[in-house]
Amino acid sequence: MKAVILAGGLGKRLRPLTDSKPKPLIEIGGRPILAMQLDWLKQNGVFEAVLCIGFLKEKIIDFVGNGRRFGVKVGYVVEEEPLGTGGALLNTESLLRREESFLVLNGDVITNLNPSRLRDLNDYVGVLALVPLKSPYGVVDTDSDGLVSQFREKPTLPEYWVNAGVYHLSPKIFNYLKDKSDIETTAFPKLADEGKLKAVKYDRCFWKSIDVYKDIEEAEKDLKRIKR
> Does the active-site annotation cover 73?
no
pLDDT at 199: 95
| Cα 165 to Cα 110: distance, rounded to the nearest angstrom | 10
Please pick, among 12, 73, 154, 221, the residue that the annotation labels catalytic.
154
Segments of the chain scoring below 70 in pLDDT: 227-228
| CATH code that applies to domain 2-131+161-227 | 3.90.550.10
CA–CA separation, 228 vs 225, rounded Å? 5
**pLDDT value of residue 164:** 95
Strand blocks (E) in the chain: 2-6, 27-28, 31-32, 48-53, 73-78, 102-106, 109-111, 126-134, 139-142, 148-152, 156-169, 197-201, 207-209
Which residue ranges make up each domain of the chain?
2-131+161-227
pLDDT at 216: 85
Cis amide prior to 16 (ω within 30 degrees): yes
CB neighbours of residue 65 within 10 Å = 11
**Predicted pLDDT of residue 218:** 81
3-state DSSP assignment of residue 117:
helix
Within a 13 Å sphere around the CA of 37, how many CA atoms are in the beta-carbon half? Answer: 33
pTM comes to 0.86
Question: Which residues does 43 contact at the CB level (< 8 Å), separation at least 6?
Answer: none
Instruction: Quote the pLDDT of residue 228.
Output: 64
